[in-house]
Amino acid sequence: MIETEDENTEKKTQAEQSDGPMIRVLGLHKKFEDFEALRGIDLDVLPQQVVVVVGPSGSGKSTMLRCINGLEQATRGQIFIEGIDITHHATDINEVRQKVGMVFQSFNLFPHLTALKNVTLAPIKVRGMDQDEASEKALKLLEKVGLSDKADAYPAHLSGGQQQRVAIARSLAMDPDVMLFDEVTSALDPELVKEVLDTMQDLAREGMTMVVVTHEMGFAKEVGSRLIFMDEGIVVEDGDPEQVFTNPQHPRTQEFFSKILSHI
């Protein structure tokens, strides 16, 4: 009821910025009760970039991702997705979310639906796609994540890694332009991490724009085209992954890497 459409302004801004960044975050602040999670984030994510976001827990990485697809409302600042300001009250957030896929730490598959139905639900209900078309597409996506034989399995009968790959297929079914990954391997048993990272790497190779919050430094180095280090609600360091790893500029980044890399 509150979310009204204003297509004219949407189209105009989109046209103006069509060559601009996929995601543009300007002066983003987020306050929870008495805790300031984000204290002024500025970030441009260009098409086909794989931005890896690292930082200590509580640094605001997840909150930033959640703001980018509107799961949390910004306290202050603006967020543009392909030029559309999602913090503007006239923006239809549901429309924008179709362009932004999100994968969660806890998978959040729908337990009452099979893997296939998990993938077809949104295309059918949101896009109005017919059942057969949606199933065909879903099967292709499940094949892509290596799970075509699990189409009829319920989430409870899948391993964590399999569930997470179904979740990725589910997001891809809406043909998003950007994918957000929120610590997607943190809840997985160590031996299941690789299959999920491999799937993400394939996506990156195909040119998907991705923002990946993770603790997997190997992935950051190999797949990331850019690395962002966050701490206490701000971006502390932003650059080429190899460079940030080998030669971090900021003392807080140096301290963080020295702590997490000392056991490798």
Partner 1 sequence: MGIAGLTFLPVIGAILAIVFAARAKKQILTSDLEGMGLAKAGRTLGIIGIVIPALALILFLLRDNVRAFIDEFFDLEIMKESWSFLLRGLVVTLELALVSEACILVLGLIVALIRISRIKVFRFIAAVYIDVIRGMPLLLQIIIIYFGLSYLGLNLSRFTAGVLALTICYAAYEAEIFRAGIESIHKGQMEAARSLGMTYLQSMRFVVLPQAVRRVIPPLSNEFIALLKDTALVSVIGLGEMMLRARELMGTKASVTPLVVAAFFYLMITIPLMRLVQVMEKRLSKGD
- Say whether residue 249 binds partner 1 (CB under 8 A): no
Q: Is the dihedral of CA 82, 88, 91, 92 positive or negative?
A: positive
- Say whether residue 90 binds partner 1 (CB under 8 A): no
CB 30, min distance to partner 1, A: 16
Q: How far apart are CA 252 and CA 237, in angstroms?
A: 9
CB 195, min distance to partner 1, A: 20
**Residue tagged 């930033």 (tokens):** 64
- Say whether residue 30 binds partner 1 (CB under 8 A): no
Please list every residue from 126 through 155 that binds partner 1, using CB under 8 A.
126
- Say whether residue 112 binds partner 1 (CB under 8 A): yes
**CA distances for 219 relative to 53, 69, 240, angstroms:** 11, 23, 13
**CA distances for 162 relative to 11, 59, 200, angstroms:** 38, 29, 13
Burial of 212 (0-12, 13-18, 19+ CB in 10 A): buried
CB 23, min distance to partner 1, A: 15
Q: Report the residue from 108, 148, 201, 225 that binds partner 1 according to the rule CB under 8 A.
A: 108
- Say whether residue 100 binds partner 1 (CB under 8 A): yes
Residue 230 contacts residue 53 (beta carbons within 8 Å):
yes
- Say whether residue 61 binds partner 1 (CB under 8 A): no
Q: Give contact residues for partner 1 (rule: CB under 8 A).
A: 69-71, 94-95, 97-98, 100-102, 104, 106, 108-112, 121-122, 125-126, 167, 170-171, 174
